[in-house]
A and B are shown apart, each in its own frame.
Chain A
Amino acid sequence: GDSVTQMEGPVTLSEEAFLTINCTYTATGYPSLFWYVQYPGEGLQLLLKATKADDKGSNKGFEATYRKETTSFHLEKGSVQVSDSAVYFCALKSSNSGYALNFGKGTSLLVT
């Protein structure tokens, strides 16, 4: 079945460091891919998305490119801030998973 695998955390970085959180997926067909973020004490919220191969989603300085050849959707940010400390979830939606999103296990990021 469809699934998402993302790197385990926690990830600890200094302010202004470069961030990469890896995400790979397994799906038939052409899924849509998402990154959601959960700040402390808040609900999950959409960070960015990409709906077809080679699309780049971007928001708040974060970027991720939909790579069909490597089945990946890695999240990157050039210079993280303390306020980026949160849990990041990679997710996919495909026709085979009905209308629900399949989420990865989440990666905790702490910026100090």
Chain B
Amino acid sequence: GAGVSQSPSNKVTEKGKDVELRCDPISGHTALYWYRQSLGQGLEFLIYFQGNSAPDKSGLPSDRFSAERTGGSVSTLTIQRTQQEDSAVYLCASSLDPGRGPGELFFGEGSRLTVL
């Protein structure tokens, strides 16, 4: 597609349930990022992929959070046993090889997660 695509756009779940959020980056972009946007907290970095590997997982807030990327393309962010504090907008971004300089990040519109 023309831009970064995320699904679902909205997800309401009950506390304790698992959720999966999907990101389809721009074709040809080797780098993929997940951020979390909480009210009043700005953008919190979660994880970065270069190809299918994740050299930087430093931002994942707990072991309930995991992410994978397959085929150098689609990525899935999984949150297990969701808690109310997980409620946020989860943003995905992609870019060309970041090792070649401070490239522009292209963001999707986000997946809004509400945990009841």
By a beta-carbon cutoff of 8 Å, the part of chain A in contact with chain B is 32, 34, 36, 41-46, 49, 51, 89, 93, 98-106
Contacts and interface: CB of A to CB of B under 8 A. Distances in A.
Contacts of B98: 99
Interface of B: 3-4, 31, 33, 35, 40-43, 45, 48, 50, 55-56, 58-59, 91, 93, 98-99, 101-102, 104-110
B110 A43 contact: yes
Nearest to B102: A32
A99 B50 contact: yes
Contacts of B104: 46, 49
B43 to A, nearest CB: 4
CB-based closest 4 A-B pairs: A105-B42, A32-B102, A103-B43, A99-B98
Contacts of B59: 100
B1 to A, nearest CB: 13
- Among B4, B31, B42, B93, residue most surrounded by chain A Cβ atoms (within 10 Å): B42
A42 B31 CA distance: 21
Contact of A99 (B41, B43, B99): B99
A43 B108 contact: yes
Contact of A43 (B42, B48, B107): B107
Given A51-B102, A100-B59, A103-B35, 18 more contacts: A32-B102, A36-B107, A43-B3, A43-B91, A43-B110, A44-B105, A45-B106, A93-B102, A98-B48, A98-B58, A99-B55, A100-B33, A100-B45, A100-B48, A101-B105, A103-B43, A105-B41, A105-B42
A106 B42 contact: yes
A99 B43 CA distance: 15
A43 B109 contact: yes
A32 B59 CA distance: 21
B56 A98 contact: yes
B105 A46 contact: yes
Nearest to A42: B109
B56 A102 contact: no
B34 to A, nearest CB: 10
Given A42-B109, A43-B109, A99-B48, A49 B41 contact: no
